[in-house]
């Protein structure tokens, strides 16, 4: 890789410097989204087709898959599933956050709610409600509102989402989920979480209508205990798991 980069540098020193800058930005943020603050130089360099093979091979050595989506105008890094340790281990809260955002993006996309560049807009409180529903049904303690804000800001730092100005009166703000989020969530995990989310909606609707299909005897049965919720949901993300 160093020899290949030296060849680029000897032919076009300015372009080599732009590539070096872009690589550093991509390693720092995970995604370069055209239009973000200070993204022009990095995106312009990393999106040039003549350097695609170089960048693919460069990041492959480090255990990452380099992706360029020209239509949506972003470049990003995704951990190579076959390269152990390429991404490190993510905390449980951040793992669940990415899963929930992936489900919400997929739902919005399938419902025709995606805007320009396949961005799906939700509100933070919508995300927070869904997050709490999922962890509570799995028998885990939920997190405070401010803790969830910190998680969302961490995801924004990775450029996987963008967030709007906070409405202090409503204690809410917009969250624009970018399509790269789906690259970080396995198809199997996303499908299981979508089914689990549907179960949650079913329970909420039953509660709102005042109906309950269970009996006292069923409530006491081991099949419906909290210990088994996690098994039936398919969302079994332990602390330290990879996304």
List Cβ neighbours of 37 (8 Å cut-off, separation of 6 or more): none
Q: Which tens digit of pLDDT belongs to each residue from 83-133? A: 555 555 678 788 889 989 998 999 999 999 999 999 999 999 999 999 998
Asked if 10 contacts 139 with a C-beta cutoff of 8 angstroms, the reply is: no
The pLDDT > 90 percentage for the chain reads: 55
Provide the H-helix boundaries in 62-186: 92-110, 124-137, 145-157
pLDDT at 13: 95
- Percentage helix, strand, coil for the chain under 3-state DSSP, each rounded to 5: 60, 10, 30
What global pTM score does this model have?
Answer: 0.75
Per-residue pLDDT for 210 more than 50? yes
pLDDT tens, residue by residue, 10-62: 999 999 999 999 999 999 999 999 999 999 999 999 999 999 999 999 999 98
Alpha helices (H) in 138-225, listed in sequence order:
145-157, 187-209, 216-219
Quote the DSSP letter at residue 113.
-
180: pLDDT strictly greater than 60: yes
**Mean pLDDT taken over the chain:** 80
Looking at residue 188, its pLDDT comes to: 57
- Rounded to the nearest 10 degrees, the angle between the axes of helix 92-110 and helix 124-137 is 120
- Length of the chain measured in residues: 243
Tell me which of 169 and 190 has the higher pLDDT: 169
């Amino acid at each position: 890789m160093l020899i290949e980069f030296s060849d680029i540098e000897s032919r076009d020193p300015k372009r080599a410097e732009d590539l070096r800058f872009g690589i550093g930005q991509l390693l720092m943020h995970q995604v370069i989204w055209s239009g973000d603050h200070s993204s022009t130089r990095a995106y312009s360099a990393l999106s040039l087709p003549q350097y695609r093979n170089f960048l693919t091979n460069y990041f492959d050595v480090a255990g990452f898959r380099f992706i360029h989506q020209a239509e949506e105008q972003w470049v990003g890094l995704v951990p190579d599933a076959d390269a152990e340790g390429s991404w490190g281990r993510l905390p449980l809260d951040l793992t669940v956050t990415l899963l929930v955002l992936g489900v919400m993006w997929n739902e919005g996309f399938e419902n025709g709610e995606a805007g320009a560049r396949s961005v799906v807009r939700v509100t933070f409180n919508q995300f927070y409600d869904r997050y709490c529903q999922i962890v509570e049904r799995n028998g885990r303690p939920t997190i405070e509102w401010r803790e969830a804000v910190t998680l969302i800001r961490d995801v924004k730092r990775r450029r996987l989402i963008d967030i709007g100005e906070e409405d202090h009166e409503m204690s809410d703000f917009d969250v624009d989920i970018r399509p790269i989020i789906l690259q970080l969530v396995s198809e199997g995990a996303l499908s299981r979480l979508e089914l689990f989310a549907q179960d949650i909606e079913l329970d909420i609707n039953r509660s709102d209508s005042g109906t309950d299909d269970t009996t006292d005897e069923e409530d006491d049965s081991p099949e419906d205990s909290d210990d088994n919720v996690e098994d039936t949901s398919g969302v079994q993300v332990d602390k330290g798991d990879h996304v």
